[in-house]
Structures are given as C-alpha cells and as structure tokens.
Amino acid sequence: MKDETPARAKSAAPQPDPFLDTSGDSEEPAFSWLTPAGKGDAGTEAEGTSTAEGPSVGSSRVSSQADTPEPDSTITPQADSRAGRKAAEAAAEPSGGAAPTEAAAASETVDPSDSDGSTGHGSSPVFKEPLPTSALHVRPPEEEVARRNAERESAANAKPVAPRVMQVLLAIFFPVVLLVLAVRAVTSPLFLWVEYNRPGFPGDGYGFSTDDRMTYGSYAVDYLTNWAGPRYLGDLVHRSGDKLFKDGEVSHMADVKAVILSTFGAGALLLLLGLIAVLYLRKRSRGGVRRGLFAGSIVTLVLILGLGTLAVLGWQQFFTDFHRIFFADGSWTFSLDDTLIRLFPGQFWIDAGLVIAGLVLLTALVTLVLTWPTRRRRGLLREEPAAEGQA
C-alpha cells in the first residue's frame, strides 16, 4: 500500500501570490468610450504597442476603434442621404430576393436634390415617363375653330326675345292705360263742378239750377263708379214727387256702368302688367324701358291724332258710332226734357272729349320728350371716349 501522504502534502503546498505590481500599467482607460477628447493619436500608438505585445485589457478598445470608420471629408450630404435611402430600401426588400416593388423602382428616378441629375449608383440618368398628352392640348382644325368663333359671335350679338316682347307689350299698354286714366278723371264730381261753373256752359231750359245739376249729376257719376244697383238712381225723386230718372234712363246708366267698370278693370290689369314689364326691362335690358315708352308715346300720338281728326270732321257721326259700338240701338236716345239730357247736354260730351284727348296728348308728348333717343341716353358719349383712347 502506497503512502499517499507525500501527494497530499504536495497538493497542499501553498500557491504563489499573484503579481499585483501596478507600476507598469498604462494610464489609458480600459474602454474607448472612457477616452478623453484630444487623445486619439496617443491612444492609437499605445493600443498598437499593446496589440503587438499580446492580448491585454486595451485590446477590446483597439478592436472597437478599428471597426469604427473614420469620417471621410469628401462625402457630401447628398450622397449620405442617397446612401441612407438605399440602405432603407435594401432593408425593406424581402429575404427571398424578390423583385423590387414599385416604390423601390420609383426611388431609382432622378433625385431633385442632385445637381448633376445622376442616380445613386452612378449610372446614366433615369427620367420619369411623361404623362400622356391631353386632348385639350390638341388644337382642332381651322374650319372647326372658325365655326365655333362664328357661333360664339352670333350668340353674343343675338338679343333675347323676352325683352323685345316686353317692350312691345309696354308700347301697347301705354296708350290704353293713359286713355283709361283720362276717362277716370272726367267721371268725377270735380269735372262736373268745373263744367257747370265755367263761363259759356249752356243752362237748363226746364228749370234745373246749377246747384240742382251738381246734386243730381253727382248721383249719376257716383253710380258709375260704385257697386250699387239700379235702385241707386231709380228711387231718386224730384221735388214734385215724380221719379228723377225714367226706367229707360236707369237701364242705360246700368249699361254705361258695366262698360265703365270693365274699362277700369282692364286698365288696372294693364297697368299692373306694364309695371311688371318695366321692372323686368330694368333688370334684363339696358334702355328697354325707355325704348318701350318711346314707342308707346308714338303709338298714343298716332291714335289721338287719328281719333281727333275724325271727331273734328264729324262730331255727331263720331258720337253715334261710339255709342253703337257699346250699346244697342234705341237704348241710348232720349228726349230733350229727360233728366240725362238736361244734366249732360251735347256740350258736356264735347268738353269731356277735349279733356280726355288733351290729357292723353300732353302725357304722350312729355313721355316722348323724356324718352327721346339722344346720344347721351343711348350711351354713345361713354363709348366714343373709350374708342378714342384705344385708337
């Protein structure tokens, strides 16, 4: 049996103490990120010496600095941006080596920031494909252009139909409205008072005084413009107790009232339509109101002069024909002692006709003067200076 005591004694021999002398250690830090700024060159030489001698604590720092590329002063920011973009595209590509996507292909086009227009790979410039030519950029044939221009000029020079129609209607309504207004002025107590009190008006040979005429005549005129029935005149009695108006006179006054009210109603309707035409022409047609009234005043003058000539040449015939148009034969003839003839003798109708014609004629003349197509009203004075300035 061997003696194991020496082996145990040998294994139990004391180990030498580790070398702890730090006098030969370098003052450089163990890691590169602990290196102070400004010691790049000295640190590099020290690291090279340590590497040559063998692996040491500073070897890790040497390897970390060796992996870090030194900045190249020739690299521009544009190249750097292109390199970064290419790296991002390479990272976005699938691992299987698939074909680049449309976004990657579009990135191969010319970068607007490149001054020389070259791509990031240094190859020939790649340009974007232009858009297809639009049909609007294709000029049509000369014949089509001429036809379109002719149609455009014709549409610009053509005048709308509605303003012309309104002008014609205004010219037609104008004399009718004036005539109705003049008739309304005559069928009033004011005209009766003027007639009965004017010098030269014939008196009543059967006993009516001026006051009697004014009283009874006012009843007759009021009946023409109110909505009362025939009893309004039929129940009137004379001082003696007899009826003031006979049945035939009351019947004729009822016919006259129907004609007067119809005339006034038509005049009011035409006046309303005329105002609508005026408002329309003021908005849609420059000078349309003036032209319509000017034409209406001419029509009015022609009508008044024509009717006045017929009345002057034969008043009795004119008066008879006028009554035959609106009343039946025999319903409007009375004797000299009837109340209607005593209140409204022949001179009254002559004066009424003169007043109606005078009012219409005066209004038409004033309208004609105010709407006369002078150069200023036609706008030529404003157009001529503009034309001279262009010349």
For 252, the domain range is: 164-390
pLDDT over threshold 80, residue 98: no
Number of domains in the chain: 1
Q: Give the pLDDT mean for 292-303.
A: 95
With respect to residue 65, please indicate whether it lies within any of the assigned structural domains. no
With respect to residue 268, please indicate whether it lies within any of the assigned structural domains. yes
With respect to residue 151, please indicate whether it lies within any of the assigned structural domains. no
With respect to residue 275, please indicate whether it lies within any of the assigned structural domains. yes
pLDDT of residue 279: 93
Q: pLDDT per residue over 173-221, tens digit each?
A: 999 999 999 999 999 999 999 999 999 999 998 889 999 999 999 999 9
With respect to residue 218, please indicate whether it lies within any of the assigned structural domains. yes
Average pLDDT, whole number, for the chain? 75
With respect to residue 200, please indicate whether it lies within any of the assigned structural domains. yes
With respect to residue 26, please indicate whether it lies within any of the assigned structural domains. no
| Confidence band for 37, pLDDT divided at 50, 70 and 90 | low
Q: pLDDT per residue over 39-52, tens digit each?
A: 444 444 444 444 44
Annotate the chain with three-state secondary structure: CCCCHHHHHHHCCCCCCCCCCCCCCCCCCCCHHHCCCCCHHHHHHHHHHHHHHCCCCCHHHHHHHHHCCCCCCCCCHHHHHHHHHHHHHHHHCCCCCCCCCHHHHHCCCCCCCCCCCCCCCCCCCCCCCCCCCCHHHCCCCHHHHHHHHHHHHHHHHCCCHHHHHHHHHHHHHHHHHHHHHHHHHHCCHHHHHHHHHCCCCCCCCCCCCHHHHHHHHHHHHHHHHCCCCCHHHHCCECCCCCECCCHHHHHHHHHHHHHHHHHHHHHHHHHHHHHHHHHHHHHHCCCHHHHHHHHHHHHHHHHHHHHHHHHHHCHHHHHHHHHHHHCCCCCCCCCCCCHHHHHCCHHHHHHHHHHHHHHHHHHHHHHHHHCCCCCCCCCHHHHHHHHHHHC
pLDDT of residue 376: 77
Of residues 231 and 24, the one with the higher pLDDT is 231
